[in-house]
Amino acid sequence: MPLLPFSVSLRDGVPVYEQVIYAVTRAIVGGQMRPGDEFPSVRSLSQELKINPNTAHKIVTALIDQGLLVVRPGIGTEVADPARSAAAVGRARFEQEAERLTVTARHAGLSINDVIAAIRRQWVRLTRLGD
């Protein structure tokens, strides 16, 4: 049985680093991981996902830098308080993600209405997961 508090199905063509960060972010935003929940060590993450320890370290460091995780000396790494997470991620990061989404949507020939409908579906889905 996996020890990870989030789920991720690694797929080819997308860097493992990005996939894991997205999976953890999704789990936190969706409420599957809550403030104070313990996060696996770099070693555990590396072993569970069968990835290089350097990649696991890069993932944990990025999640800490984004304010999603916090290190508690003598305790370990855990999920940060959501208010702190939201402030750390901030508007600039959201704008970057919105730009990436917009470019992807335009490339796929989608309309603004298609994008809004997709965002609305995901918003509702994540809200239900957190209940």
With the CA atoms of 74, 64, 39 and 130 taken in that order, what torsion angle do they form, in degrees rounded to the nearest 10? Answer: 130
pTM: 0.66
CATH of domain 16-130: 1.10.10.10
Q: What is the pLDDT along the chain (131 residues), one digit of tens a residue?
A: 357 889 888 889 999 999 999 999 989 888 899 999 999 999 999 999 999 999 999 999 999 888 889 998 888 999 998 666 556 556 667 877 888 899 999 999 999 999 999 999 998 988 887 66
